[in-house]
Amino acid sequence: MPLDEYRRKRDFRKSPEPEGIPKEGRRTRKGQPPFFCVQKHLASHLHYDFRLEHEGVLLSWAVPKGPSLDPGIKRLAMHVEDHPIEYGTFEGVIPEGYGAGIVMLWDYGTWTPLVDDVDAALAKGDLKFSLDGYKLKGSWALVRTRGYGDRGGDGRSWLLIKHRDEWAGDLDIADFAPLSVKTGQDFAEILADDNPEIWRTNRPVSGGETGAMLRQIVEAAARLKAERASHSRPRKSARQPASAGSRKATGSHAARRTKKRR
């Protein structure tokens, strides 16, 4: 079963993630392009989970630095277990266990293979495709690589690469458009919607850069929740800083994106 590894890693009594019981003979809906999404996931490390719907599941890669629109920048993408289709719109808090942290739906849309046979392309380790999301568009490739450092040769290391087209550019998309396309929220707001108290002690990660980031988010979420409870301030007060507007977002590419920015 394609979702065995996904289920083995999780305790659905403790995680809000969808269990994803596969329907018999489930396939891509006829005549509709398949779904793709990118989930920004603050867990033991911040990463971006890139998922492509194929044959009833979401093929998944964890991209530590997130997608880059610059064709010169190849981003490491670790192939991970297939996820259920229902996972594709999940956003929320995983309180403990595997993947404990905060999941934000950072982008979604449809994808189109630019190869005749997706399975053959995956087996070969070279999948070309186009994306039609809110943040990611145009032509891309996933290319299997030999791996880095000691990991070499386990077949899980791929590179996510933007092809040169009108949607390529040097805009740092992760920095320019950091928020959820589902709710417009940042990590702190997503946590405030849930329960910031769960990590007052015993956070899923405490050390290093990620631990510091999470500590700040927990504090911000607790403040937000208190504000919301008191109705003293509108909840937009804790929105992301306006720094994106001052970034070098020039050219038609950026102008097009600005309208859709979340």
Indicate the residue among 39 and 139 with the shorter CB distance to Mn ion: 39
* Residue 24, both tokens: 């018999």
Residue from 41, 137, 162, 261 binding Mn ion (CB under 5 A): 41
Tell me which stretch binds Mn ion (CB under 5 A): 35-43, 66-74, 172-180, 233-241: 35-43
Question: Binding-site residue total for Mn ion (CB under 5 A)?
Answer: 2
Stretch near Mn ion under the rule CB under 5 A, chosen from 34-42, 108-116, 174-182, 243-251:
34-42
Q: At its nearest, how many Å lie between Mn ion and the CB of residue 47?
A: 6
Give the DSSP per-residue string, 58-104. EEEEEETT---S-TT-PEEEEEEEEEEGGGGG--EEE-SSTT-EEEE
Of 61, 46, 40, 55, the C-alpha closest to 182 is 40
Contact pick of 49, 53, 189, 193 for Mn ion (by CB under 5 A) = 49
User: What residues contact residue 189 under an 8 Å CB cut-off, 6+ apart?
Assistant: 183, 221, 224, 235, 238, 239
- DSSP annotation of 196 reads G
> Does 17 engage in binding with Mn ion (CB under 5 A)?
no
φ, ψ for residue 213, nearest 5 deg: -60, -45
Q: Which span (42-50, 133-141, 161-169, 172-180) binds Mn ion, by CB under 5 A?
A: 42-50
> Contact between 193 and Mn ion (CB under 5 A)?
no
Residue of 174, 170, 19, 167 whose CA lies nearest to 90: 19
Nearer to Mn ion, 10 or 223 (CB): 10
- Segment interacting with Mn ion, rule: CB under 5 A, options 15-23, 36-44, 87-95, 181-189: 36-44
Is residue 53 within the footprint of Mn ion (CB under 5 A)? no
Distance of CA 39 to the CA centre of its chain: 2
- Using rule CB under 5 A, residue 79 touches Mn ion: no
The residue ranges that bind Mn ion (CB under 5 A) are 41, 49
